């Protein structure tokens, strides 16, 4: 188990992995169609995009969190 202080980084890692996987799958199928090379092209696109998505989410998530806090009513 990881210490709780790593929760935001782990969250970003998992969310960026899942989202980049789904988005690159859709984009790859749209770009090249379904065929024998689709899976390899998708995995190549995913491997390239996941680190970028992870870095972006680590930078953007705190900003978005603060923005959301301004848009919703406080508890109570």
Q: pLDDT (tens digit, 9 = 90+) per residue, 17-46? A: 999 999 999 999 999 999 999 999 999 999
* 1 in any annotated domain: no
* 37 in any annotated domain: yes
Q: State pTM to two decimals.
A: 0.84
For the chain, the domain total comes to 1
| DSSP 8-state class, residue 35 | S
Q: How many CB atoms lie within 10 A of CB 19?
A: 14
Beta-carbon-side half-sphere exposure of residue 67 (alpha carbons within 13 Å): 5
Span 37-75, pLDDT tens digits:
999 999 999 999 999 999 999 999 999 999 999 999 988
Tokens of 67: 């923005």
Host domain of residue 19: 6-71
∠ CA 60-41-29, rounded to 5°: 80
* 76 in any annotated domain: no
């Amino acid at each position: 188990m990881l210490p709780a202080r790593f929760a935001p980084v782990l969250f970003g890692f998992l969310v960026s992995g899942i989202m980049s996987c789904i988005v690159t799958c859709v984009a790859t199928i749209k770009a090249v169609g379904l065929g024998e090379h689709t899976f390899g092209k998708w995995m190549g696109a995913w491997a390239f995009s996941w680190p970028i998505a992870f870095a972006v989410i680590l930078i953007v998530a705190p900003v978005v969190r603060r923005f959301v806090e301004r848009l919703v009513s406080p508890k109570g």
